[in-house]
Amino acid sequence: MKEKNRGLAVFTFLVFVFLLGPLLIISVTSFEGGSVLKFPIETFSFKWYENIFKVSMFLTTFKTSIIVSLAGNLLALLLGVPAAYALSRFNFKGKAVLNAVFISPILIPGIVLGFTFLRYIVTTYQLPIYAGLFIGHTIIMLPFVIRVVSSSLSTFDFSIEEAAHSLGASKIGTFIQVVLPNIKSGIIAAVMIAFLESFNNVDISVFMTGPGVSTFPIQMLTYVETYFDPTVAAISVLLMIITAFFMFIVERLMGLSYFTKR
Amino acid sequence: MALFTLENISVAYNKQNILQDFNLEIEEGKFISLLGPSGCGKTTTLRLIAGFLESNNGKFLYKGKDYTKVPVNKRNFGFVFQNYALFPHLTIFDNVAFGLRLRKASKSEIEKKVASVLEIVNLSGFEKRYPKELSGGQRQRVAIARALVIEPDLLLFDEPLSNLDANLRENMRIEIRRIQQELGITTVYVSHDQEECFAISDQVAIMNKGIIEQLSDPATIYNYPKTKFVADFIGFKNFIDFEDQKIHENEIELTKSGFTFIVQKNKANTSTDGKTGAIRPDNIVIRPLKESVTAGKNELPGKVKIRTYLGRSYQFIVETPIGDFTINQELLVPYQVGEEVILEFPANNMVLVK
């Protein structure tokens, strides 16, 4: 019995090393003083962190990413919250099919989705780059919004809706005054998860970006192609911190059990 | 004139009729219960009155006005739910004030009304708490306060006590009755608990398969059920399907397989269409069979088949030539299984039902 437990402990340890090792190495290398990425570091410095703010393309693309993610997020909410509500509240024909359609952007490989967007949004309809990015990112965020909001609606007692009705509230009034406040934490969690999904996205954006307009992760890729200094490592560390912070809030609001549910 | 009327209401769900040509009239200030087993249509009736459901046919009249198409939020009826349905994100004060705010009441008016209604339900001082901090009984009282504060034209209860434990249930039903009488609000109450309905109602409607089998005051239903279903539902466990009847001046003579029974004419036993006799287990008298005694009128010979102990009394299942009967009797020395007995059916305790 004891022997078996030790084996399991070693295995668990190895999994953690495998998962967290690269993150640790990246974090360490970001503090390298020289101009070449190396591990372990030879001198210690913050200069590559400073360099992030010196490269103007990082700032420009960061703004682009923020705008696309926030605007897409807003649209995904406007579409996703009512959709999640309808899917949870009502029984209708084709509900299972609709559910599957809404989830499909998670299941379809990003590269396939990206190529499809390129084929239609960019080639056929020749939409401007910003519009294309906006549409593409809305579509990849939508399933996350629907999933997270649905899971918070699954514990919602719809009889309080009837209670509000009987007290004189209209249908829309009930939704705003009773339903929304009770799924508030789900909506905030949805916003954060969708934001991270969009902000970190490469495989869709790579097809949608063009001359002059790029997103932050794409700019990172471009940078690595030309320079081999630790700037990207420094960016990675910052992104990790932001992501961890967001996930901490989501965990506080809803619990991460959402990710283990299917 | 009736305060509200359901006229030939039909409701179907998934092509199955739940209510068909349903009629009901309620007078102002009355407390009426809809009582019946699950699936009898009582909740459907209540939800239809509230406006949560639409009928396929028929009319719902309130004070002579057609309310059939009036939406829930324009009806001004108070509804109390089985699971309380309080707003979890609002304090008790805000829960109760919800309906008043929608009615654009002034701040001082809201404060005054909420305070007075919380006093009625004995929850003064709970204003700042949230529903999850209250017990089940307190939550239900908040739900009642929330429904009362809008001064509803009609108060509707959907099994409000079934989530509470037995002691609390008894206290709450007294509370509900007290509040209803104090305020004189016309009330419709749905329950599957017979005792609860009888305890608090002016009138009880026993429902079965989408129709009202009997609508009367509780005592009449309890003593003089009209149909076999009602009799069975309120505890007349024994039934005799008679073959023949003769009507006399003060009594009715009935026969079954050669045995003769006399039933006194009374409030229920006037009609000649009832040919099934019903009697409660408590009202059959069980006597030892002595030799040389044969069963006379209103008597049956039998043999004890099963004996169970109920605490206050014993219950016997007795086999007779015309079927098994259930008898409850308080006895110091009980009859043994297999013992031969005589069953006596007192003439004033048998009721004829359809």
Delineate the domains of chain B, giving CATH numbers in brackets: 4-229 (3.40.50.300), 237-353 (2.40.50.140)
Residue labelled with tokens 């807003």: A74
For residue A23, what are the CA distances in angstroms to A18, A239, B87, B98, B207?
Answer: 10, 11, 45, 52, 69
Residue-range domain boundaries for chain A: 47-259
Chains A, B: CB contacts within 8 A come to 61
For residue B41, the number of C-alpha atoms closer than 13 Å in the C-beta half-sphere is 24
A167 reaches B (C-beta below 8 A): yes
For residue A202, what are the CA distances in angstroms to A53, A140, A215, A229, B74?
Answer: 21, 12, 8, 21, 52
Residues listed for chain A = 262
Structure confidence at residue B190 as a pLDDT band (50, 70, 90):
very high
What residues of chain B lie within 8 A of the CB of A182, using their CB?
A: 87-89
What residues of chain B lie within 8 A of the CB of A169, using their CB?
A: 73, 98, 102
Contacts of B23 (CB under 8 A, 6+ apart): B5, B6, B7, B8, B9, B212
pLDDT for B60 beyond 50: yes
Q: How many CB atoms lie within 10 A of CB B183?
A: 15
pLDDT for A20 beyond 60: yes
Report, as an integer, the average pLDDT of A174-198.
Answer: 92
A179 reaches B (C-beta below 8 A): no
**Which amino acid is located at A191 in the chain?**
V
Residue labelled with tokens 């829309």: A172
| In chain A, % of residues over pLDDT 70 | 95
What residues of chain B lie within 8 A of the CB of A167, using their CB?
A: 73, 98-99, 102, 146-147, 150
pLDDT for A262 beyond 50: no
B261-264: Cβ within 8 A, 24+ apart:
B261/B297, B261/B298, B261/B345, B261/B347, B261/B350, B262/B297, B262/B298, B262/B347, B263/B347, B263/B350, B263/B351, B263/B352, B264/B347, B264/B348
What values do phi and psi take at B19, rounded to 5?
A: -125, 140
The residue among B52, B53, B73 with the most chain A CBs within 10 A of its CB, best to mutate, is: B73
How large is the C-alpha radius of gyration of chain A? 22
Burial B247-286, CB ≥16 within 10 A → b, else e: eeeebbebebeebebbbeeeebbeeeebbbbbbbbebbeb
Residue among A16, A48, A14 nearest A29 (CA): A48
The residue among B43, B89, B159, B163 with the most chain A CBs within 10 A of its CB, best to mutate, is: B89
A40 reaches B (C-beta below 8 A): no
pLDDT at A134: 93
What is the residue-averaged pLDDT of chain B?
A: 89
Instruction: Name the residue in chain B with its Cα closest to that of A165.
Output: B73
Strand ranges, E, within B149-210: 154-158, 187-191, 203-208
CB contact under 8 A, A162 and B85: yes
CB contact under 8 A, B85 and A165: no
Bond preceding residue A230 cis, omega within 30 of 0: no
Structure confidence at residue B292 as a pLDDT band (50, 70, 90):
low
CB contact under 8 A, B85 and A159: yes
Structure confidence at residue A172 as a pLDDT band (50, 70, 90):
very high
Q: What is the pLDDT of residues B342-353, one digit of tens each?
A: 899 988 888 888
Tokens of B135: 């017990």
pLDDT at B113: 94
CB contact under 8 A, A164 and B79: no
CB contact under 8 A, A163 and B85: yes
A164 reaches B (C-beta below 8 A): yes
Report, as an integer, the average pLDDT of B158-184.
Answer: 88
Reported as type and span, the H/E element at residue B19 is strand B16-26
Inter-residue contact A167 to B98 (CB < 8 Å): yes
Domain covering A47-259: architecture: Orthogonal Bundle (1.10)
Report, as an integer, the average pLDDT of A36-57.
Answer: 87
CB-nearest to A166 from B77, B83, B88 is B77
pLDDT at B2: 84
pLDDT at B270: 60
CB-nearest to B99 from A167, A182, A184 is A167
What residues of chain B lie within 8 A of the CB of A153, using their CB?
A: none
To the nearest whole angstrom, how far is the Cα of A158 from the nearest Cα of chain B? 8
List the single range of A42-46, B28-32, B215-219 with lowest mean pLDDT: A42-46
For residue A250, the number of C-alpha atoms closer than 13 Å in the C-beta half-sphere is 23
Inter-residue contact B322 to B256 (CB < 8 Å): yes
Inter-residue contact B260 to B347 (CB < 8 Å): no
Q: How many CB atoms lie within 10 A of CB B350?
A: 25
Structure confidence at residue A34 as a pLDDT band (50, 70, 90):
confident
**Which amino acid is located at A245 in the chain?**
F
CA B299 to the chain's CA centroid: 33
Angle at the Cα of B303 from the Cα atoms of B297 and B307, rounded to 5 degrees: 120
Angle at the Cα of B135 from the Cα atoms of B134 and B140, rounded to 5 degrees: 90
CB contact under 8 A, A157 and B76: no
A181 reaches B (C-beta below 8 A): yes
To the nearest whole angstrom, how far is the Cα of A80 from the nearest Cα of chain B? 23
pLDDT for A161 beyond 80: yes
pLDDT at B134: 93
| In chain B, % of residues over pLDDT 90 | 47
Structure confidence at residue A2 as a pLDDT band (50, 70, 90):
low
For residue B109, the number of C-alpha atoms closer than 13 Å in the C-beta half-sphere is 11
CB contact under 8 A, B87 and A157: no
Q: What is the pLDDT of residues B265-287, one digit of tens each?
A: 876 666 556 688 899 999 999 88
pLDDT at B112: 94
pLDDT at B111: 95
Instruction: Name the residue in chain A with its Cα closest to that of B82.
Output: A159
To the nearest whole angstrom, how far is the Cα of A259 from the nearest Cα of chain B? 26
3-state secondary structure of A257: helix
CB-nearest to A166 from B72, B83, B86 is B72
Inter-residue contact B186 to B219 (CB < 8 Å): no
Q: What is the pLDDT of residues A124-133, one digit of tens each?
A: 888 888 889 9
Cα B1 to Cα B63: distance, rounded to the nearest angstrom? 9
CB contact under 8 A, A182 and B88: yes
The residue among B48, B70, B87 with the most chain A CBs within 10 A of its CB, best to mutate, is: B87
Report, as an integer, the average pLDDT of A85-89.
Answer: 92
